[in-house]
Amino acid sequence: MTSTYSINYALRAHKRDPFIEWIKAMMMTPFVLHAKPIPPNDDPNENNEEPYQMDANVARYCDILSSIEELINEHIGKQKNGVPDQSRLVRLVPSISTFHTKLPLKDSFLLANGKHSIAARRFVPPSFNDIRRILNTAQIIAIAPNLKLITFDGDMTLYNDGDDFDQDSALVNSLVRLLEFDLYVCVVTAAGYHTDAQRYEQRLSGLLKGFERANLPKEVIERFYLLGGECNFLFQCKENYHLEYIPEDKYQPEYVQWQPEKIAAILDVAEENLQRCIDEMRLPCTVLRKSKAVGIVPKPKIKIFREQLDECALSTQHRLDTYIQSAKGKGSALPFCAFNGGSDVWVDIGNKLIGVQILQEFLGATSEQTLHVGDQFLSTGNDFATRSQCCTLWIVNPEETQQVLIELDGLLEAKKVDRAISNTKNSGIK
């Protein structure tokens, strides 16, 4: 849905998304050239053209977004022909990634304009968040008819950073509804507790209690999964509303069955670099090593600045890339994810791209039938990699997750009603 790109912290802002920034630049034209100043006095004659001006600005924004839709559609056509680099959109946004569906941006803008008065604003132009939300709504509209698998990040997507899932959360009912729509629902989290189901159950305690209160039947509750350690530990919710570990040989393809010595080699290099970061920046952190991950966590009641966390993540990513390309590290090359978790930094063996791919193969879902919801879509985040494997929604907190699920629920309910009407008509014909 948005772009994948390599970043150099010293040369460009790593806290931006090029595709969103490009759309924002395109939408500046109506704001700069066509937004009339506020009349300087109370003369009613000054306001005669106001309704026309606002309608004209809506039309201008719609025209721009319709043109971007055409560019996306052309890019999708080039993707299907195996030559995405030949699309005009690639020339305009070189870092653009894969689109798994078309995006009705014009329709999405009209909905957003009704909520946020974008075309009526004279002093505040369309913002990064405006466009991020427009892209989210467009993706929801596009994928709803074919959605089969929806995956969620944990921290800051379903619950606040470091917290457990609250049983009073409004998201409980939203996730129950998704399961009742016969969708596969999976939490894909970096939290790595190996095969300890109880540790994961603690994080999702409120949700599991909500499933029990809803009295979900076996065939519904068993459509809920949790994938821990990015892509390493899969659990299924059973009819007793507890998580049950699924052995690796039941779901993991050969390409993720990595040799322990290669895992150790990557984690050794990552640990060494993270310790160097702690020493050089004098961070009040400790290094924590797990079976398939290593990270730094701050000491109790200590908050590390975002820039320091980014430095740890980016420098470790660079160190591992250099190591893997060296003569010594070529034999230990494995996919990994070095990311800023908001309050800590982790290096995981594997990543969420592989995690989503595993789920798609295991559950029989395609990229255009899969939607990942997360908050870490910048270059230092661990949701970033999923863009090339499935459709995505970029949210910023659990409250926004609730809002996008309300939008999705309405579309899924409409699809359910349409299907029921169609079945009734077909039955009448017979």
Could you give the C-alpha distances from 419 to 181, 227, 422, 424, 427, in angstroms and in order?
A: 12, 32, 5, 9, 12
Closest CA to 310 of 5, 11, 4, 9: 9
Could you give the C-alpha distances from 289 to 264, 270, 312, 375, 427, in angstroms and in order?
A: 10, 10, 16, 25, 60
257, 280 Cβ separation under 8 angstroms: no
- CA torsion, points 75, 80, 85, 89, in degrees to nearest 10? 0
d(CA 248, CA 61): 50
Mutual angle of helices 105-116 and 128-143, in 10-degree steps: 130
Say whether 155 is catalytic: yes
Kindly tell me the burial class for residue 6, based on how many C-beta atoms sit within 10 Å of its own C-beta (0-12, 13-18, 19 or more).
exposed
Tell me which of 155, 310, 344, 375 is the catalytic residue.
Answer: 155
d(CA 156, CA 78): 36
Tell me which of 107, 130, 153, 310 is the catalytic residue.
Answer: 153
Q: How far is CA 298 from the centre of its chain?
A: 25
Say whether 153 is catalytic: yes
| Active-site amino acid positions | 153, 155
